[in-house]
């Protein structure tokens, strides 16, 4: 895991997307919603995208990539 991305940031973003399956936000919007500094937010979004939890749209926004199914455990490791 990236040392600049605290596990709490990953969990926070995953919780928001799990609670609102149709959520589609830009990195700036996600950072504001989750109260994260932009560098931490960008790192977390990169990890969550690499691990298949999120996908990035052509307009730069992020949404759930698993068809709206809720994961039982957050992606932290």
Question: Per-domain residue ranges for the chain?
Answer: 7-64
Q: What angle do CA 27, 42, 68 make, to 5 degrees?
A: 60
Quick check: 72 pLDDT over 90? no
Rounded to two decimals, the pTM is 0.80
- The pLDDT tens digits of the residues spanning 33-66 come to 999 999 999 999 999 999 999 999 999 999 998 6
Considering the four listed CATH numbers 3.30.360.10, 3.40.980.10, 1.10.10.10, 3.90.1150.10, the one that applies to the domain covering 7-64 is 1.10.10.10
Quick check: 67 pLDDT over 90? no
Structure tokens belonging to residue 3: 């040392």
Alpha helices by DSSP H, 20-74: 27-34, 38-50
């Amino acid at each position: 895991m990236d040392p600049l991305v605290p596990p709490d940031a990953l969990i926070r973003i995953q919780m928001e997307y799990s609670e609102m399956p149709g959520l589609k936000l830009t990195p700036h919007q996600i950072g504001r919603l989750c109260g994260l500094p932009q560098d931490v937010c960008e790192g977390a979004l990169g990890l969550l995208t690499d691990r298949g939890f999120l996908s990035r749209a052509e307009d730069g926004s992020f949404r759930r990539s698993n068809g709206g199914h809720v994961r039982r455990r957050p992606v932290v490791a």
